Structure 1
């Protein structure tokens, strides 16, 4: 009879399987670490052990037999699966090691816990100003980490090749300090970041400074002068062309006005050609003008006002008849 019971129990042990997740866990000192232990067949007692020592015991019938401030368990059992979540709070470096979920008479399975410490990170010296083309050197110190911090660099958000920096580690008590030196060629200003992390730290700690690259001021001035002179010459040429065009237009306009005046004078000269001289007299008798001729004569300037030298008197010797001629030139 006993042999039959053992044969019935043996297939149950073989078929049952205990699942423990996660199998590897890294947390920061002072935080909490949780594990899930589950089984698909009925069980009696589940124990949680730290390096072989029992930390918490759970009964399928009564639940957690004893809760402590550091160790707790929560039941997440369903119809198809028996599942308990075990949590250890305020972990210390001493808690690092092996975690075991032991289901009595069924299976025992192990996981690892790593308690780590995150320190500080800082780039020494702050912002750096160098001349274009020179070498820029940055030093980053990650202090108070455990285990060794992973240190890496970025410039303007792009990761720097590991060939451009080297890192050394120094132990200070139970913690580790890392010093990383980055050397780059200064080709342009950029934001430089030093990042440090350990597996338990999801977001790395960072320190940022700026690389400021000075350009060649003399070269910039030369370029500025060259550009200024070029634009000045171009503007001068444009102004000269505009002046020449305006001068040619004005000269043509003057020539056109002059030609019109000449034509006007010629036409007026033809109209006055062949008319009687209103100031002409013969032998002391004045010739009388008609009304129309008198009207035209009013347009002729006064002879005495124009040129008195144009009147010439001719006299003969004593005893001869005297004849006076008056000449007037019409222009």
Structure 2
């Protein structure tokens, strides 16, 4: 509190002491403890007897509001206010605290500044947090033991949690509750219920604090189903095995198909390469044969008895003259070539003498020559 306010309250106390005749008024009824939720208003009453001069309200020893006779109010904190009531020779002051918060929790004191003229009470501010169960509906197999978790978050003080199954309170040995306080001063709790429901059940988690008119609740529905029959289990196992086998066979078949396609492609490539090589070999062989034939033809057509003079005589022979058919007996291995008479021999030369000499030098196979025509 600031020093001017301290001086003011000290002055009021001194005035009250000076006006005390020794048999001054007293507090007939002091304030009572009050519990409120955060955001609510809190109320305190203080009734004094006749003869009072000043009434002071204090929070944790610090004055927040004062009333002087006959009813003038001096307010030092806007969160506080008071209403005065006179009844016969008594005066009652009602203190109101607006929109209480956690920091408003503490001791509220009423003082009339006389010997023994003060009484106090406590304000408790509580917080109604949240309560929840993770699932709303849970499937449970018959004779199966389960755990249900109920969470309470952001409470002050820590709530009291109980469980009910089908409107019957569960023994506290069937569940465990743990709580901790956070940095904001609020409490969090976790309660775990262990249960083996015989039939379909409705389970309720209840959390309560003093200020709540009824507990806050969270509900879960348990649906109990019978265990599967052994035949059903076998059928399910058979179906699972069939599905697994079908999947495995499909994968294996797909891999085999890929391998077969790969082998076919490789074989086709090899066949193409081998056929190409064979064609190239055939072309190469044909080329060699052709070259050899050409060499043979060239060597067979070469006339080693060629003479330029004969070419000139040959050119001068008329085209209408020709040799008579040659008899195969005409050609002998040891006989000279004889040529029949020619109607005309140009230049009157010894043409018939030249041919036999050439033929004798190069014998001719009668099988290869059928008709000889001189052009």
TM more than 0.5: yes
Superposed CA offset, 1:202-224 (max 9, x none): 32221111122224687xxxxxx
Match of 1:61 in 2: 70
Q: Secondary structure at the match of 1:188?
A: coil
Superimposed CA distance per residue, residues 189-239 of structure 1 (whole angstroms, 9 cap, x where no aligned partner): 222111122223232221111122224687xxxxxxxxxxxxxxxxxxxxx
8 Å contact kept, 1:148–1:177: yes
Match of 1:294 in 2: none
Relative distance call for 1:158 and 1:169 in structure 2 (3 A) is: same
Specify which of 79, 101, 114 is matched with residue 70 of structure 1: 79
How many angstroms apart in 2 are the aligned matches of 1:164 and 1:187?
Answer: 16
Tell me which protein shows more strand as a share of its residues: 1
State the Cα deviation string for residues 151-182 of structure 1 (Å, max 9, x = none): 21122333222111111113332222100001
Q: Does the CA-based 8 Å contact 2:27-2:118 persist in structure 1?
A: no
Q: Deviations over 1:1-23 (max 9, x none)?
A: xxxxx9x944556xx3432232x
Q: Which of 67, 83, 90 pairs up with 1:81?
A: 90
How many residue pairs match? The answer is 209
Matched, 1:170 2:180: yes
Structure scoring higher RCO (CA < 8 A, sep ≥ 6) equals 1
Structure 2, unmatched stretches of 5+, are 1-17, 230-375
- Return the TM-score normalized by structure 1: 0.58
Between structures 1 and 2, the one with greater helix share: 2
The alignment partner of 1:211 has SS state of strand
Query: What do the CA deviations read for 1:73-103 (whole angstroms, capped 9, x no partner)?
Result: 1123211532111010111221111110011
User: Max radius of gyration: which structure?
Assistant: 2
Secondary structure of residue in 2 paired with 1:18: strand
Over 3 Å counting, the alpha-carbon distance change for 1:80 and 1:161 in structure 2 is farther
Contact kept, 8 Å, 1:18 with 1:108, in 2: the verdict is no
| Structure 1: distance between partners of 2:112 and 2:203 | 53
> What is aligned with 1:193?
204
| TM-score normalized with structure 2 length | 0.51
Cα RMSD between the aligned structures? 2.4
Using the TM superposition, give the Cα deviation of residue 68 of structure 1 relative to its aligned residue in structure 2, in angstroms: 5.4
Residues 40 and 145 of structure 1, relative CA distance in 2, 3 Å threshold: same
Three-state SS of the structure 2 residue aligned to 1:121 is strand
List gaps (5 residues or longer) in structure 1. Answer: 1-5, 219-331
2:39 to 14, 30, 35: 30
Conserved in 1, the CA contact under 8 Å of 2:161 and 2:207? yes
Distance 1:155 1:81, change over 3 A: farther
Tell me by how many angstroms 1:51 deviates: 0.8
Question: For the structure 1 residues 55 and 17, does the alpha-carbon distance in structure 2 shift closer, same or farther, using more than 3 Å as the test?
Answer: closer
Q: Please tell me whether the aligned partners of residues 27 and 46 of structure 2 are also in contact (alpha carbons under 8 angstroms).
A: no
Aligned position for 2:219: 208
